[in-house]
Each structure stands twice: as structure tokens, then as C-alpha cells.
Chains A and B, each alone.
Chain A
Amino acid sequence: MVHRERSYACIHPETYKYFFHVDEVRRIWGVLQACYGPLHHTPGFGVIEIQSERFLFRAVGGGNPITVIRRRGCTDADVEALHRRIGFFERA
């Protein structure tokens, strides 16, 4: 079960950390790479990230939680597509 918590980053007000089941994280990063681009390891702080046109995906070495930062130009449709891909559904 995926859940998310609000994260106060100032690139975009709608920034969340998504928490995945430990057995799912590796697969999720694979999905993200397939859809949004290659994974990069940033030296120094041990952060992994994917930079794409509409999203930044960032996490510490273990990969969980994944901080999803929306970029300028990111639309509701982009967010819905991401949620479908990672299996996140908003609770009513």
C-alpha cells in the first residue's frame, strides 16, 4: 500500500514523499526510470534522483520514501499518469 506525506519544498507547493512497501521499491524505481529517464547518484550526500521535464524524483540511498517534486508545467494529467504508474490512489 502506497501512502504519501506532504513535504515542504519550495520548488513546488504540491510536493510529497511517497512511501512504498519495502519489497516494492526496487520495482518502482525501475518503472520511474523506464518512464522518466535515467537514475543518477549524486556524490556527497548519497542521494539518488531522476530529473525529468515534469518531475524530479529523489531519495536517499535506500530509495524509500521517494520525494516527488513537480516542476513548472506539470499538469494534473501528468500527476494522474504518475499515480497510475506507481499504484497510488487518493483515499476519498
Chain B
Amino acid sequence: MRERFALQYKADEHRRMIGGKETIIHCHHYNARLQHTIEHVTDVDGAKIIRDSAEAVFAEHVANVLEEGDDEATRLAAVGALYAHLGFGRLELSRAAEGVVTSDQSHYVEGWQAGFSETQRKACTFTEGYLQGALAAALGRPFSVREHKCMNAGDDRCEFTVDARHEPVLRNDKRPSDFHPKAADGHGEHGNIDEQAIIDALVQMPFMGSDEGLIPAFGVYLALTPADFYNLMCIQFVEQMRAKGLFRTAQRLLTFAGETCAMNTFRGIMASAEWDALIAPMIQHKEDALYGLMALSNGFGWGNWRVTEHRPAETLTIESLNGYEAIGHREYRGSCDDPQCFMLCGVSAGMMELVYGEGLLEDRFGTFLSEENQCICTDAPCCHFEVEPA
């Protein structure tokens, strides 16, 4: 089964393709934070946005990895194997026909335990949506899936009920973008960091779930999530918030999730064995850590972004040639009037706070401000971020 999920790396675009889908590497902390952000805004039904997005994307993703002639057992095995391969955890699907699926390992539960352990609530909305889409692809009919036991709520395993439903499976409707990224001209500042060596190492690294379906690496749990999922979820969240006059709030919330990602995920990465092994020896000046983080994020499939100007501890200017948020927005909705790269915008500020800030992380939040002042979504040739002290 694993060979169906073999990585195809598009070096010129920094894209990681698995089962015909562009996948993005993020950690448990960011994924749980993003879910927490979207589900805790009372003005919209965040859980439905997450569930619907996962259903639409994974119905397509699982269909991509099924083969003609697969019997039902093999098709169900693919549902669990893809979930595990991408790092989301371990599913037990042997009782799916009776309407029960369980899980004893979960990327999202790990994220909630790390960031929001006090909540003691059911945390697996993503998995509900994954199962709705994946089971529909495998069994050819739509389902409604709800979690009724969760490890994050203190249960010994997560348990989901699977019921037949009448509403058709949601579709992942998008059009190929007509945008052509400008060529990377080799400019950009890299300090003492050998970006290509870092990306080569990342491509060699076997990012796939262990027997438990988790990917512990860089001091965090990583997962390979289709860019479509992030894009569909965030676009729907922003649209529904905008309809209520809350566009700026949505923008701030998603940007803050990116800033938190940079501070927590990248701090974990900078303390990891991988960092010590390859990147730390390249660092001669403080700003080299920032360039190292940029190189890693390019290798994680976020796109191709680079520093164009940097005054250490003061200002940072970054351009992004093909960030997944901008490209995704064009694919789903076409061009628009406002920049849409909220994650990269937040990460830009968060990296400055992490590399140059002092004291507790909590005290560093908001000490730098970032702005995306041009975006591929607004028909600019690239996205452009500026960061300065608050």
C-alpha cells in the first residue's frame, strides 16, 4: 500500500506531492491552534467548516490512491493507511460496517494536549471530516461521522459513530490557477545558510507515519496535510466571517495562528537533533537562524519564499513566489481585492520575535508587526511581507 503514497518532489516549485495532492508539512501545535481558532469563534460554525473541508478534500485524495480491482477490504485498508502515512494517527476500521471506527493515536489529540490540555473536550473534528470523505470514496456512498469518545476528554481511545446519510458527498471544486510564478532569480539573502543542503536533507528524510501513524521529527509531531484542506477551510472561514462584517477579525485570528506556529513550532525545531545536526553548524550570526528557518519552511512545501532585505532585530522584507495560500485562493475563488496569505504573514513576525526576542515566549507576542502589502491574489507578481517592531 505504501508505494501508492510515494513522494513526488517538485524541486522547482518546492512542492511535495503524495497521491496526486500537494501536501504541506505543519506540526501538531499549528494544526490544533488553527482548529481552536476556527471553532472558538461563535459567529460561525467552525466545526462544520473543518469537517466539510476535510470531507471534500479527502474524498478526492482517497479516490486518487484507490486502484481498479481493489476489493472492499483493500479500499478500507487504504483509508487507514493514508491517514497513518500522512501522520494523523492510527485508525481501527474493522467495525466500520457496524458503524464504529476507533483510534488510539491522534495527531490532533497530541496538539490539543500540548496547547489546550485544560479543555478536556472532544478534539477530532478533522478526523470526522476525513472519515466522511474517505469512507465515501472507499464504499461509494455518503456517511455522517461523529466522535463520541475522545482521548483529549480523558477516554482511553477516540471512538466515532458512522451513519448513512442522504446528502451527497461534498466536492472539492477548484480550477487550475492561471498564475505563473516568476522565476527564482537566485537573489535573496541566505546569510551563511546552505538552503539547498537543507532542502536536500528534507527530501531524503522519510516523512511518513510510524506504526502508530505519527511523525515525531524536529521535536514536534508533523503531519502532511493537503494544501487544499488548509485553503478550503480558511477561505470558508474568512468568507463566513466577512459576511458578518468580521473580515478583519478573521484576518487577525489566522495571522495570530501563524505567529504562534512560528514561535512554538520553530522553537521546537531549533531545539531538535535535526537542527543540531545540520543547521546549527552553519550558523555564525544570529540572523542565520532566521535564514535556516526560511529554508526549512521552503522544504516543508510552504512554497518558495526568501528574504529580500533584513536589518537584524529591526526589519525584515520577504517575497513569496508561490505560497500555497495565494495559489489556493486563486484556484478556489480567483483573484480578489485583499491579500490572503495570513499564515505566512503571521510566521514572518513570529520568526523575528523568536530569533531576536528575549524572555518568555508569552512576552514576545506582538513585539513585531507584519503586513502583506502585495499578494498574488490581487494580481501582483509575488506576495510581499514587511515586518517591523511594534
Inter-subunit contact B278/A9 (CB<8 Å): no
In Å, the complex CA distance between A67 and B274 comes to: 11
Separation in Å of the B83 CB from the closest CB of chain A?
A: 18
Q: Are the CB atoms of B203 and A10 closer together than 8 Å?
A: no
- Distance between Cα atoms of A33 and B298 in the complex (Å): 35
In the complex, are the beta carbons of B278 and A45 less than 8 A apart? yes
A35 to B263, CA, bound (A): 35
- Given the interface pairs A43-B206, A45-B278, the reply to whether A69 lies near B271 with Cβ below 8 Å is no
From B47-55, B141-149, B213-221, B322-330, the one touching the partner chain is B213-221
A68 → B minimal CB distance (Å): 11
B97 at the interface (CB under 8 A from A): no
If A9-B219, A56-B216 touch, whether A72 touches B273 (CB-CB below 8 Å) is no
Per the CB 8 Å criterion, the residue count for chain A at the interface is 23
Tell whether, in the assembled complex, residue B219 and residue A67 are in contact, meaning their CB atoms are under 8 Å apart.
Answer: yes
**B114 touches which one: A10, A44, A46 (CB < 8 A)?**
A10
In contact, B220 and A45 (Cβ under 8 angstroms):
no
CA distance A69 to B220 in the complex (A): 10
Contact residues, A1-23 vs B (CB, 8 A): 7-12, 15
Using known A-B contacts A9-B220, A10-B114, A45-B274, determine if residue A51 contacts B210 with beta carbons closer than 8 Å. Answer: yes
Contact of A11 among B109, B204, B216, B276 (CB under 8 A): B216
> For residue A43, which residue of chain B has the nearest CB?
B204
Stretch at the interface among A24-32, A57-65, A76-84: A57-65
Complex contact B277–A46 (CB within 8 A): yes
Cα separation A72 to B123 with both chains bound (whole Å): 15
Minimum Cβ distance to chain A for residue B193 (Å): 15
B60 within 8 A of A: no
How distant is B106 from chain A, measured CB to nearest CB, in Å? 10
B206 engages A60 (CB within 8 Å): no
What CA separation (Å) do A46 and B278 show in the bound complex?
Answer: 8
A61 proximity list for chain B (CB < 8 A): 277
> In the complex, what's the smallest C-beta–C-beta distance from A28 to chain B, in angstroms?
15
Within the assembled complex, what's the spacing in Å between the Cα atoms of A7 and B272?
A: 8
Known: A60-B277, A67-B219. A44 touches B202 (CB 8 A): yes
Asked if B220 and A10 sit within 8 Å, CB to CB, the answer is yes
Give A7 to B218 CA distance when docked, in angstroms. 12
Among B110, B114, B216, the residue within 8 A (CB) of A51 is: B216
In the complex, are the beta carbons of B277 and A8 less than 8 A apart?
Answer: no
- Which residue of chain B has its CB nearest to the CB of A56? B216
* B205 within 8 Å of A (CB atoms): yes
Kindly state whether residue B29 has any CB partner on chain A within 8 Å. Answer: yes
Query: Given A10-B29, A10-B265, A45-B201, are A69 and B216 also a contact pair (CB < 8 Å)?
Result: yes
Q: With A11-B110, A43-B204 as known contacts, state yes or no: A69 contacts B219, CB within 8 Å.
A: yes
Give the distance in Å from the alpha carbon of A7 to the alpha carbon of B29 in the complex. 16
A43 to B221, CA, bound (A): 18
User: Which residues of chain A in 29-57 are interfacial with respect to chain B, using CB atoms and an 8 Å cutoff?
Assistant: 42-47, 49, 51, 56
- B366 part of interface (Cβ distance < 8 Å): no
Q: Are B274 and A47 in contact (CB under 8 A)?
A: yes
CB distance from A75 to the nearest CB of B (A): 15
Instruction: List B contacts of A46 (CB < 8 A).
Output: 277-278
Known: A8-B267, A8-B268, A11-B221. A47 touches B273 (CB 8 A): yes
8 Å CB interface, B93-123 against A: 109-110, 113-114
Chain A residues lying within 8 Å of B274, measured Cβ to Cβ, are 45, 47
B188-214 contact mask (Cβ, 8 Å, vs A): 1 or 0: 000000000000111111100010000
Least CB distance from B283 to A in Å reads 15
Chain B positions within 8 Å of A42 at CB level: 205-206, 217
Chain B residue nearest in CB terms to A73: B151
8 shortest A-B CB distances, which residue pairs? A9-B219, A44-B205, A44-B204, A44-B201, A60-B277, A45-B274, A58-B273, A10-B268
* A residues lining the B interface (CB < 8 Å): 7-12, 15, 42-47, 49, 51, 56, 58-61, 67, 69, 72
Interface residues of B (CB under 8 A from A): 27-29, 109-110, 113-114, 151, 200-206, 210, 216-217, 219-221, 264-265, 267-268, 271-274, 276-278
